[in-house]
Amino acid sequence: MKYEIKRFKSLAIALKELEPFIRNGKHLQTGRPFANFGGMLSREVLANWLICVVANEAHGDDARMTFTSDPLGGDGIILDTTTEETWPMEHVMVPYQPDGDPVDVGATIMKAVDAKNNKGGVAYASGKTLVVFLNCKGEEWYPNHIAKALPVNLTFGTVWAVGFQGVEDGRYRYGVANLHVEGGDAPTWIVEMASDFSAWRVERKQ
């Protein structure tokens, strides 16, 4: 059986489409799903885009990894166009609390992971990648610590965390962390978008 999926022609086009939603941070938290993109939320599209661009940087190929809608109603699918491998995505958000104190981000990530991990067991999470979208203001946190503290019974294939870092001269910056210890460190990157959203730069931090 063939399923209909939606996919941007390029990650550059996707970024331009995301521009108004990135500039309007409220949409990332409360915006309606995109009916023309499989019912995905703007934060889900953005997080999948961020993971693709850091994976492409690691591969040295800006066009290798892309993402599509999920015809089965999930939070998108990341596609390796070279190997044709796919990774169904599952997203959870740590919301922004404008009137609250800064949160303990590390503890909040763990709480979000535990909630998703316990939601439906192996049948629900097997083969999926979990993404924690940090739309909060909080204390400094350390990806290595979180990676080493993930549940021993984790049913997701891997866990990523992405979060807004700030804006400098119109350039939006996001942090991306793969919460899997690799040679002693959980890989982390900063993605900086050009002020006109026509390009981006990826910097590996560890």
Q: pLDDT tens for residues 29-43?
A: 899 999 989 999 999
DSSP secondary-structure letter at 40? B
Instruction: Please report whether residue 6 resides in a domain.
Output: no
Q: Is the pLDDT of residue 123 over 80?
A: no
Query: What is each CA distance from 64 to 5, 78, 105, in whole angstroms?
Result: 18, 11, 32
- Domain-embedded: residue 35: yes
Provide CB contacts within 8 A for 108, sequence distance 6+: 94, 136, 138
Three-class SS state of 147: helix
For residue 28, the model assigns a pLDDT of 92
Q: What mean pLDDT is predicted for residues 159-172? A: 94
Alpha carbon of 58 to those of 11, 64, 84, 187: distances in Å?
Answer: 16, 10, 17, 10
Which stretch of 20-24, 56-60, 136-140, 184-188 has the lowest confidence by average pLDDT? 136-140
Using alpha carbons, select from 51, 41, 43 the residue that is nearest to residue 11: 51
Q: Where are the beta strands (DSSP E) in the chain?
A: 65-68, 77-80, 86-94, 129-134, 158-168, 171-178, 188-193, 200-204
Cβ burial, residue 148 (10 Å; 0-12/13-18/19+): exposed
**Mean pLDDT of the region 176-196:** 91
pLDDT at 193 over 90: yes
Check: CB of residue 127 under 8 Å from CB of residue 154: no
- pLDDT of the residue at 25: 85
Does 99 score more than 70 pLDDT?
no
Rounded Cα–Cα distance for residues 72 and 86 (Å): 14
Specify if 54 maps to a domain: yes
Least confident span in 25-39, 98-112, 161-175: 98-112
Q: Tell me, what's the pLDDT at 67? A: 97
**Residues of the domain holding 90:** 11-204
For residue 95, is it within any domain? yes
Mean pLDDT of 147-154: 90
Per-residue tokens: 149 = 């503290």
pLDDT at 100: 65
- Res. 2 pLDDT band, cuts 50 70 90: low
Looking at the domain assignment, is residue 1 inside a domain?
no
Query: Is residue 175 in a domain?
Result: yes
Lowest mean pLDDT among 15-19, 78-82, 151-155, 200-204: 151-155
SS3 of residue 107 by DSSP: helix
Dist CA 159 CA 84 (whole Å) = 21
Number of domains into which the chain is organized: 1
Q: Is residue 116 part of a domain?
A: yes
**What percentage of the chain has pLDDT greater than the value 90?**
67
CA distance 49 to 93: 16
Give ∠ CA 62-175-41 in degrees, rounded to 5.
80
- What confidence tier does 190 reach under pLDDT thresholds 50, 70, 90? very high
Q: Please indicate, yes or no, if residue 137 is contained in any of the structural domains.
A: yes
Whether the per-residue pLDDT at 1 is higher than 60: the answer is no
| Tokens 């661009």, located at residue | 53
